[in-house]
Structure 1
Amino acid sequence: MSAKQLTLPLDQEQINGLRAGDRVELTGWMYTARDAAHKRMAESLQVGEELPVELVGQTIYYVGPTPAKPGQVIGSAGPTTSSRMDPYTPALLALGLKGMIGKGSRSETVKQAIVQSQAVYFAAIGGAGALIAKTIRAAEMVAYHDLGTEAIYRLEVERFPVIVINDIAGGDLYQQSQSL
């Protein structure tokens, strides 16, 4: 089965056509954010401040890229464990976030929020950070510069490989594979 080719930012028609287990290649622009950036965004929302990036239709990759070597756009860029972002995810989905990329399963609360918000959770392959970095064409730090590798970056990607884990219909590839 060949991978579905999707263009970022995601639109609802693209998301509606995805099901748990689909192989996908993403091309376009996405943001990065890990634990510290998510915590800071949540704190901003709690005091009524605007977020430093617009999330409507966007995808966040849970990664803290390593510094780029000379001649490279970015260093290793492997996914981090998604469950660490679970406390913050429903609020970001409510603001229009449509895609998330990481590794590992999500909480029931997040899976329900994915269905309610008509979003999607993708997994990237852990341990393949150097290979994933080859799909990144541009990287720019856009917010929370003091967080270093945990700052929010804007990445341009081309054929970035992921697998749909949680879809809008409540599908969960991890649960499905356990029942086989």
Structure 2
Amino acid sequence: MKKIQLPLKEEDIESLHAGDGVLLSGVIYTARDAAHKRMAQLIKEGKPLPFDLKGSVIYYVGPTPSDGIHLIGSAGPTTSSRMDAYTPELLDLGLKAMIGKGRRSKEVKEAIVRNQAVYFIAVGGAGALMSHCITSCETIAFDDLLSEAIRKLTVKDMPCFVGIDARGNDIYDQKGSQL
């Protein structure tokens, strides 16, 4: 597994290949469907987003409440394709990576290549494991969305795989892929 310190550097992105295992450490932001819809509206209105997209990583997750022991409850990935309508524009504005699960659309793949970005996949069903990688959690926008609010997370050694690399290679299209 390759250890990657966030924010992503150009050389990190260039070195990644579909199927590579990675351990991510640093700041990521959570955003699911409702938060993406609100961010799209802010962009349309010319208003600032809750965080700077340039070089950022978005994790498609709606974590459960804390159990009182950990900072956050289960934090497993959600289906990424639900954000596909919003993703190309976010990539064009500077987003460098997304973390989720499942296939992405042709338009998202093209935007990943165009912007030299990367799509990471996290293992579904591993939400409890993922929550243990989170070392800090702060809600930064859209509190009313509850679990879908945007959070700033700091993670240490969060396990993921490269789903789509900056050249457009897609692990889901590779022969013999079991994903």
Please tell me the TM-score bracket, short chain as reference. Answer: over 0.9
Whole-angstrom distance in 2 between the partners of 1:70 and 1:170:
41
1:21 partner amino acid: G
1:65 paired residue number: 63
The one-character-per-residue Cα deviations of 1:11-40 (angstroms, maximum 9, x if unpaired) are 111101101010000001100000000000
Q: Equivalents in 2 of 1:51, 1:178: separation in Å?
A: 40
Percent identity, aligned pairs only, is 57
Given candidates 74, 92, 95, the residue that maps to 1:94 is 92
1:118-154 per-residue CA deviation (whole Å, 9 max, x = no partner) reads 0000000000101111111111101111111100001
Change (3 A) 1:8 1:82: same
Tell me, yes or no, if structure 1 residue 123 matches structure 2 residue 121.
yes
- Report if the CA contact (8 A) 2:117-2:165 is conserved: yes
In structure 2, distance between residues paired with 1:104 and 1:66: 21
Match of 2:104 in 1: 106
Runs of 4+ in 1 over 2 A off after TM superposition: 177-180
Give the TM-score taking structure 1 as reference length. Answer: 0.96
Structural mapping, 1:26-41, within 5 Å? 26-41=24-39
Are positions 1:10 and 2:5 aligned together?
no
Q: Distance in 1 between matches of 2:77 and 2:154?
A: 16
**Against the structure 1 CA distance between its residues 179 and 22, is the aligned structure 2 distance closer, same or farther, given a 3 Å change threshold?**
closer
Provide the rounded CA distance (Å) in 1 between the counterparts of 2:117 and 2:174: 19
- Count of residues paired in the alignment: 178
CA distance in 2, matches of 1:23, 1:162: 6
CA contact (8 A) 2:99 2:121 kept: yes
TM-score of the superposition, structure 2-length normalised?
Answer: 0.97
CA distance in 2, matches of 1:45, 1:130: 34
Distance 2:137 2:177 in 1: 39
In structure 1, the residue matched to 2:82 is 84
Partner SS, residue 93 of structure 1: helix
Runs (5+) with no aligned partner, structure 1:
none
Structure 1 counterpart of 2:173, from 153, 172, 175: 175
Residue 178 of structure 1 deviates from its aligned partner by: 5.0
Distance 1:173 1:79 in 2: 17
State the Cα distance separating 1:177 from its structure 2 match: 3.5
Question: Superposition pairs for residues 146-157 of structure 1, below 5 Å?
Answer: 146-157=144-155
Q: How far apart, CA to CA, are the structure 2 residues paired with 1:8 and 1:149?
A: 24
8 A Cα contact 2:70 2:132, kept in partner: no
Note the C-alpha offset of 1:64: 0.2
